[in-house]
Amino acid sequence: MQRTKKLTLLHSAAFGLLGLLATTTQSNEQADSYLDHPKAQAFIAEVQAEQNYPKEKLEALLASASKRQSILDAISRPAEKTKTWAEYRPIFLTQDRIDKGLEFYRQHEDTFKRAEQSFGVSRFVILAIIGVETRYGKHKGSYRVVDSLATLAFDYPPRSPFFRSELKHFLQLEQEAGIDLMSAKGSYAGAMGFGQFISSSYRHYAVDFDNDGHRDLINNPVDAIGSVANYFKEHGWQQGKPVASLARFLGDEEQQAQLDSVLSKGPKPQKPQLTIMEIKQAGLIADADYDDEEKATAMVFEGAEGTEYWIGLQNFYVITRYNHSPLYAMAVYQLSEELKKRLSS
């Protein structure tokens, strides 16, 4: 939520934006029980074969779940797929989000420093993730997780297998994390807590960072901070290494044609494969001083003042393991840099 897929679209910042409308929208939706859905009995049989989960409890849970059209609408239009960088950046690089981030950091400064020391992940990136995902815990989602997962598992064919798996993982969190399956709330895609972990990521990467015997990512900011750090460590974060840099095209006409061949294409970023030297040979020069043999990705965004070229390194790619959108990763990076500047001054 392989682990790299675990947060695809699921930790999207659109969760927070669309989640604000969830309560009103849900009240207008018809609540048909998922126990009566044609796919429900097959799912129950699968769970019985794979897990030691009481059938009666599962039937009661599905009986309480209902289809939410607003969830299907939301997942079909994530902000990362519909907005340019010029439109996306102002959502997250706001004075209010920066100010709230400074306040949240100061409340938990010791925890952030301990997470950085324990996992080798920048405390400012951890802070920015929580800021982008939930405004530091203010907007953690208002959909019942079981409604979200059931709706997407049974009524969203493009990713039904994935969400069926997430629904199975969710069942395990009752025992493993003490989550009340009937009442737990989160995003439209079933992501929970300060850092918006989906169920499989919760199970694999959540840590008990305050050593109280519970992994509580929903109500405990200490566990949430440690768990975000652990997620990044497990996905290959390089301690003390840079994330990204602006770049300028300084090439000639011949290099202009070559430039297109080195720019990252497609909606999902690839692991850095080109060297800085290969990117330089296409006329794209990073503003930062990187080793010529460093692996990197060349990216282009449509910004408020025109075309922006960026060079992303391994740590930029790791941020996209949390959400597969380069726009998302760039928002997290730039917010982290702004918070770092304010907190270091």
Given a contact cutoff of 8 angstroms between Cβ atoms, the answer to whether 170 and 199 are in contact is yes
Residue 38 contacts by C-beta under 8 Å, 6 or more apart in sequence? Answer: none
Q: Is CATH 1.10.8.350 what the domain over 14-80+139-218 is classified as, yes or no?
A: yes
**8 A C-beta contact, residue 189 and residue 179:** no
Q: Give per-residue pLDDT as tens, 152-196.
A: 999 999 999 999 999 999 999 999 999 999 999 999 999 999 999
Structure tokens at 123: 């405390």
Looking at residue 267, its pLDDT comes to 66
pLDDT of residue 264: 86
Amino acid at the residue 306: G
Q: CB of 121 within 8 A of CB of 130? A: no
Q: Are 335 and 125 in contact (CB under 8 A)?
A: no
Residue 29 bears catalytic tag: no
Catalytic residue among 87, 109, 116, 133: 133
The set of residues, in sequence order, having a beta carbon less than 8 Å from that of 203 and lying 6+ positions away, is 169, 172, 173, 176, 177
Q: Is the full-model pTM beyond 0.85?
A: yes
Specify the pLDDT at position 345.
79
Burial call 87-125: b when 16+ CB within 10 Å, e when fewer = ebbebbbeeebbebbeebbeebeebbebbbeebebbbbb
> How far out from the chain centre does Cα 135 lie?
13
Cα 116 → chain centroid: 19
CA–CA distance, 127 with 131 (Å, rounded to integer):
6
- The domain ranges of the chain are 14-80+139-218, 244-312
Residue 343 near residue 336, CB atoms below 8 Å = no
What angle, rounded to 10 degrees, do the helices at 95-107 and 109-119 form? Answer: 80
Q: Per the structure block, which two tokens stand in for 43? A: 């799912």
User: In the prediction, which pLDDT does 31 show?
Assistant: 55
What DSSP letter does each residue of 59-114 carry, written as one string? HHHHHH-B--HHHHHHHTS-HHHH--HHHHHHHHS-HHHHHHHHHHHHHTHHHHHH
> In this structure, which amino acid lies at residue 268?
K
Q: Could you give the CA distance from residue 116 to residue 342 in angstroms, rounded to a whole number?
A: 18
What's residue 296's pLDDT?
Answer: 96
CA 227 to chain centre: 13
Grouped pLDDT means (10 residues each) for the chain, 345 residues:
39 41 44 86 93 93 95 87 92 97 98 98 98 98 97 96 98 96 97 98 98 97 98 98 97 87 79 94 96 96 96 97 95 98 92
